[in-house]
Chain A
Amino acid sequence: MADYTKMWTELGLDLAGHDALLGVLGGAYTDIFLSQKNRPEGMKYFDFVMSEVHGLRIQELMDAKAQGRKVIGSYCVFVPEELILAVDGVSVGLCAGAEFNSEGAETVLPRNTCALIKSAFGFKLGRVCPYLEASNVVVGENTCDGKKKSYEMLAPMVKDLYVMDMPQMKSASGRTLLKEEYKRFAAKLEAVSGKKITIESLKKGIDTVNAKRAAVKRLTALRAADPAPISGLDALLINQVFFYDDPVRFTASVNTLCDELEERVKKRTGVFAAKTPRLLISGCPMAVPNWKLPMLIESSGAVIVGEESCVGERGARWITDAKSQTMDGLLDQLTDRYFNIDCAIFTPNPSRVAYVKDMAKKLGATGVIHYSLQFCQPYIMESGPVENDLEKSGIPTLRLETDYSQEDAGQLKTRIEAFVERLQKK
């Protein structure tokens, strides 16, 4: 990696803390990803992206800003990248996947806050997330109570925090609210960028994001093959990079990888032996570099073939139908697309478990691991009914609740191994 010290200093990063973070991240990446066997060649691109995640990519953001483009950071799949692209902005996901400076975060947040929110604050207070520091606008969204209230505390810490309201029911009034919020967000983006969203620019934005999601959907479908052509860890990584990378380059790289995976499927080669127990993960998002659970699972004799998660299917599975020729019509179609997302903040939320069953069938998974972040009330609340429903449908389910620390790794591994043994009927 080139020397980015000057750029990081200009962004106001704490260099010592940032170096420490990159050191840990690099070590973990080598141990968890580079040590895997039979990796597709196409993963080299993503290895490169990860090696430059705080370097070259940030340089690109700075260059974009120098050209007058705006960087819009967010934490949620309800924030429409299409609108950001329509004002020629750059959309980036913000750091919330590592335990960093928890003590700092706990000076402003209650201890029993989920690891994701704590992480976002740890990064902010420790000044180690270059994406956050490079953002012209940080978009918050009223999904869960934890996020909603924590944005009140984040507001004075960032340049421009914009909070989007969110419906909680899939009702007509809920949909109206979402559309109104997208209109308001579009106006905000126009004001910040000084650029008007046109039918053409919005259509172009939708096409770009649709292509990105279609590439990820292609990857998802290829994972139905046995032997699995790609590990769950690598597939998760791609879903994580989804939020950071240039969308056009990302799409091309995923499609190149998929070409290679198609060859693997034809030749019946893969990363693990055929008949390796196949699992789905369902639940909370796994923001980069949260690789803890997939690493434990794939070192316990199972392969992950799908993620029913915001970093996974929940973020990528719907394509926007952009046939309309009017601005209002396009906004309607965009709203329809996002209103499908079956996040646990909605009540009731029956389509989520229905889709998990659907995924298990399509991807040939024989078990589901339900993953909740500790203190994530919406997903923990749903985990019991989801487990009961899946077990009743003959899909063995293991419910796990954890955070970003490593202290429970031993106990999690025992449970995961026993669950895999249950599937193998040992």
Chain B
Amino acid sequence: MKSAGIDIGSRTVKLAVLENGKLAWSAKRVTSYNPLETARELMDGVAFDAITATGYGRHLMKGHLDCPVISEITAFARGARFFAADCGAILDIGGQDTKAIALDREGAMSKFEMNDKCAAGTGRFLEVMATALGFTLEEFSQAALAAGKAVKINSMCTVFAESEVVSLTSQGALREDVAMGIHKAIVSRSASLLRRVSPQGPVFFAGGVALNACVRKLLEAETGRPVFVPPDPQIVGAVGAALISHFFR
């Protein structure tokens, strides 16, 4: 059977289809002002027997598609084990949430933490900071990796950090060094969230921010723990939801 999972995130909608325990298909699309429509476009022409929704927009599917709904925290917990069978700690930095999840030996969720109501230190934060420095997201990560030093960023509030960045560059700080400072700040915050649920062992790193090479490198350095990023870190939640679809059948 084909079981599907759809993860309606704040920045991206992801769809994954599993067949006979293998990832058969996946796709993603930037979330529009109408996430339900984006989800429909993504599912158009894709065949599956069962589907489960997750992500920030999961409840939007109610009344449109009669399907089970699961929180993205559980979806990531399940999805991570699909890619790494012995995974015990997950860090997911998405568009507007950061989550740290600990799993027990059987793969059941034993603890989780999530950032507070604002988008401090999430993917959206990186986007705003990249724009403030005149970089694309790809350039932003590369520039940080090429930096000679890191300029310390004190504020993690997206609004305050943006004015801090503007003020630093106007004082003559190199934008590469500021970029590195921003990356360090986001990693330090995420690592402390992770430590609260899981003190040691390899880290499964997922979500859109896991695509950022500089964050990956700094996370290993900051935690002293091996960091594993799956081939496509953005679809982990959708894969987890697809596994749940299978479970519900």
Contact = CB atoms under 8 A, between A and B. Distances in A.
Interface of A: 391, 401, 407-408, 410-411, 414-415, 417-418, 421-422, 425-426
A422 B109 contact: yes
A315 B56 CA distance: 37
Contacts of A407: 117
Contacts of B109: 418, 421-422
Given A411-B117, A422-B108, A422-B109, 5 more contacts: A401-B116, A407-B117, A414-B73, A414-B97, A418-B112
Contacts of B244: 426
Interface in B71-97: 71-74, 97
Interface string B4-16: 0000000000000
Contacts of A418: 71-74, 109, 112
A411 B108 contact: no
Contacts of B111: 391
Interface of B: 56, 70-74, 97, 108-112, 114, 116-117, 244, 247
B117 A421 contact: no
Contacts of B114: 411, 414-415
21 contacts: A401-B116, A407-B117, A408-B116, A408-B117, A410-B56, A411-B97, A411-B114, A411-B117, A414-B56, A414-B71, A414-B72, A415-B71, A417-B70, A418-B71, A418-B72, A418-B74, A418-B109, A418-B112, A421-B71, A422-B109, A422-B110
Nearest to B74: A421
A393 B73 CA distance: 24
A422 B109 CA distance: 6
A425 B244 CA distance: 12
A426 B97 contact: no
Contacts of B108: 422, 425
Nearest to A398: B112
A100 B111 CA distance: 36
| Minimum-distance CB pairs A-B, first 10 | A418-B73, A408-B117, A417-B71, A418-B71, A421-B74, A422-B109, A425-B108, A414-B71, A426-B74, A411-B117
Contacts of B112: 415, 418, 422
